[in-house]
Homo-oligomer: A and B are copies of this chain.
């Protein structure tokens, strides 16, 4: 039992590390605007203008930061009722972490192409990644709860059933965003943004 507790602790610590690094690396995509040698000394107006032009990079950063944060809170919630671990759980969690470390790549993709004619392809990759992450979360959750093997003794069945129901909506919502991306890149990203704001806001209000 002590062994199991220790193992869960180290999985949480490693996962937290990966979440923390993935969320912090996002800022590396925000590049300082530079002006070519032929531009002359840039004025304040020049710099403000270029900073304003980069609005889609800020949207992409905000979207992905909030998404990873919501995922972390989710992961947190799963581990609050999982106390045991086994090799299968380790590798399901690893699959989830792989998808999460990938996030900076589709983020950079939508930051670059969100306002261009290739927005559909970029949004498809981004929402497709969201779909994969939602499926990986469902996998981790189902593996952990199947037969109650890995759960903390005394967890109420009702709580598990409530969370299981929620895990059905995530993949569905991202599947919609993915389908929409082929019609409108902006609408697809808008759905992802609405989803994450909804989850974050629900987090903020539920506890009052």
A119 surroundings in chain B (CB, below 8 A):
44
Beta-carbon contact of B25 and A200 below 8 Å: no
Does A82 sit within 8 A of B, measured CB to CB?
Answer: no
Select one of B24, B44, B87 contacting A101, CB under 8 A.
Answer: B24
By the criterion CB–CB under 8 Å, are A203 and B28 in contact? no
Contact B32 A102 (CB under 8 A): no
A: number of interface residues (CB 8 Å)? 74
Q: Considering only CB atoms, which chain B residue lies closest to A118 in the complex?
A: B47
Q: Which of A107-115, A130-138, A157-165, A166-174 contacts B (4 or more CB under 8 A)?
A: A107-115
Residues of A within 8 A of B (CB): 3, 6-7, 10, 12-14, 16-28, 30, 32, 34, 41-44, 46-48, 51, 61-62, 65-66, 69, 72-73, 76, 79-80, 86-92, 94, 97-98, 101-102, 104-105, 108-109, 112-113, 116-122, 125, 200, 203-208
